[in-house]
Amino acid sequence: MSGPLLVINAGSSSLKFETFDVADGTPRRVLRGQIERLASAAPHFVAHDAGGVITDRVLGAGEDPEAMLLAWLGEHGGGAPCAVGHRVVHGGVRHTGPALVDDALLTELDALSPLAPLHQPHNLEPIRRLRAQAPDLPQVACFDTSFHRGHPEVADRFALPEALFAQGVRRYGFHGLSYAWIAARFAEMAPSLAAGRVIAAHLGSGCSACAMIGGRSVDSTMGFTALEGLVMGTRPGQLDAGVVLYLMQQGMDAAAIEHLLYHESGLKGLSGISGDVRDLLADGGARARLALDVFVYRAAGAFATLAAAMGGVDAVIFTAGIGENSPDIRAAIAARCAWLGFSLDAARNAAHGPLISATGSKVAGYVIPTDEEATIARETLSVLAAR
């Protein structure tokens, strides 16, 4: 293939991108960057390679971000891309792997937007704009839900009438691109442990944990939407559905409840300060400590549930922003999981591993940086190779 492979991870206010050299069939990262403040009058574009920043500028008035990116890659990024891989949070029940984008797929994915309102519409918008600008450019959707499609039925069912299950009201699981990377990387690092029972914890602004046996997901803390499970930066995680009914009875409409649950809850709601663990650790006040204590308590409880789903646990892996960078949070979670036979080595944990468990710990502990973009590159290549 000629030209780099472009990977896009689009959000509500920024578009992150990376390019990979795929000339020999193996993706090798070349550039990365982002276009920030997309909703502003002056979006900011920055790109860098292994040597540092190579472009840093403000987009002109009315300048289309995707058109600018294609033109910039053509001139400075190794040529026009051979294909584009996109992170798409929700792929529904049908997609067990990545898929080549066409009109039918876009219609299908649009219908899933209510299940991931913070992510899905923003994931799909660059796909549409690129199709309009370069209709012959292959685009591949890579789904966060696909990694979890092999769950046993008991893990994906709510105790609701069958008719609702038939309509798609079920547990899907998310952060699958991250878990796919962790599963593959752990198999390289510790193949005997990776073949066993592993809990991977993706702890960032959004948080979830996944139970894997032999590198395959068997359960996850996130379910129908990305609201379920662990406490997150601004999302509550586990919540009695009766709370939503109560809020409705008090006069809140669906839009107000959605804003509360996606933007004003979690660590931010508990602390009244911030949804960022770094801010709360630095603050040290009573509400900050409470928020962190609830975060740790819920994470440890989820670990116990996932261990029960697997009949035990052989290894725990921490990843994403908090999981990779906060030894205090890792230590606090491990302390609550001591009954599982999980204990950390303080020096290893402070050094961020990769091995952080103490000698003699019955459960191995690791820190492994995630790389969703590399997963997207690999999955995109697999689709192109099958064409």
What is the per-residue pLDDT across 149-164, written as a single tens digit (0 to 9) for each? Answer: 999 999 999 999 999 9
Q: State which H helix or E strand residue 80 sits in.
A: none
Does residue 178 fall inside a structural domain? no
Does residue 153 fall inside a structural domain? no
Q: Which of 24, 56, 144, 253 is catalytic?
A: 144
pLDDT of residue 67: 85
pLDDT at 139 over 70: yes
- Find the range with the poorest average confidence among 2-16, 232-246, 264-278, 293-307: 2-16
21 is catalytic: no
What are 50-81's pLDDT values in tens digits?
888 788 888 877 778 888 888 888 888 788 89
Distance CA 85, CA 373 (A): 9
- Domain edge (last residue) among 113, 143, 173: 143
Does residue 121 fall inside a structural domain? yes
Does residue 304 fall inside a structural domain? yes
Query: Are 302 and 212 within one domain?
Result: yes
pLDDT at 1 over 80: no
What's the total number of domains in the chain? 2
Query: Are 35 and 117 within one domain?
Result: yes
Query: Are 236 and 336 within one domain?
Result: yes
pLDDT at 289 over 90: yes
Does residue 204 fall inside a structural domain? yes
Q: State which H helix or E strand residue 362 sits in.
A: none
Axis crossing angle, helix 372-386 with helix 176-189, rounded to the nearest 10:
90
Residues 133-146, mean pLDDT to the nearest whole number: 95
Distance CA 344, CA 56 (A): 42
Query: Are 328 and 217 within one domain?
Result: yes
Does residue 154 fall inside a structural domain? no
pLDDT of residue 265: 98
Query: Are 126 and 203 within one domain?
Result: no
Structure tokens at 346: 């303080």
Query: Are 127 and 259 within one domain?
Result: no
* Positive/negative CA dihedral, 295, 301, 304, 309: negative
Query: Are 27 and 130 within one domain?
Result: yes
Structure tokens at 292: 């962190």
Does residue 156 fall inside a structural domain? no
Does residue 155 fall inside a structural domain? no
| Domain containing residue 292 | 192-372
Residues 340-354, mean pLDDT to the nearest whole number: 97
Task: Please state, rounded to an integer, the average pLDDT across all residues of the chain.
Answer: 94
Instruction: Report yes or no: 171 and 289 within 8 Å, Cβ to Cβ.
Output: no
Query: Are 210 and 357 within one domain?
Result: yes
Query: Are 264 and 321 within one domain?
Result: yes
Distance CA 359, CA 136 (A): 55
The CATH number for 230's domain is 3.30.420.40
Q: How far is CA 53 from CA 57, 174, 259, 262, 372, in A?
A: 11, 32, 36, 34, 22
What are 35-44's pLDDT values in tens digits?
888 777 788 8
Query: Are 263 and 340 within one domain?
Result: yes
Query: Are 231 and 94 within one domain?
Result: no
pLDDT of residue 71: 87
- Domain edge (last residue) among 102, 125, 143: 143
What are 186-228's pLDDT values in tens digits?
999 999 999 999 999 999 999 999 999 999 999 999 999 999 9
- Domain edge (last residue) among 82, 110, 143: 143
Query: Are 263 and 335 within one domain?
Result: yes
pLDDT at 386 over 90: no
